[in-house]
Amino acid sequence: MMHRYLIITAALIGAVGLAHAQQPATGSVPPLVEVENEAMMVERFNLSVNQLANMEVTGSGGKRIGEVEEVLMTPEGKITAVSVEVVGDKEVVMELDQLRRKGDVLTTDLTEEQVEALQSWPD
């Protein structure tokens, strides 16, 4: 009987550990995919994906940080982020709530250092 109890306990502990291992790390971005439909609207900015692509991104002081390369969505189809090309060819993921639209430019309160520390997006 004790042997059976130990096997069940070990199986439960293993299942909990496996489920925990599949959760995204704290502060990480959930799985995202590029939006292929350029006519799809990005409601937060009242712009289409096509209009948002290549839009300049600046810091709060007006200094250029980069430009939007890709609009990103969850596998369920919710647009939640963009990839921004920063220094050189490096692209980082910026959540839409980190950005504000000011005319034809997107601005962020993040510093250049904070932007460069964001999760990379594979080009």
The β-bridge partners of 81 are: 72, 95
Neighbours of 22 (CB within 10 A): 7
User: In whole angstroms, what separates CA 93 from the centre of its chain?
Assistant: 4
- Structure-block tokens of residue 80: 């939640």
What residue ranges define each of the domains in the chain, with the CATH number in brackets? Answer: 28-116 (2.30.30.240)
Half-sphere exposure of 42 (CA within 13 A, CB side): 27
Cβ atoms of 66 and 115 within 8 Å: the answer is: yes
Q: Note the pLDDT tens digit of each residue in 5-64.
A: 444 444 444 433 333 333 333 345 568 999 999 999 999 999 999 999 999 999 878 899
- First-to-last CA distance in the chain? 56
Q: What is the pTM of this model?
A: 0.74
What is the C-alpha to C-alpha distance for residues 120 and 106, in angstroms, rounded to an integer? 19
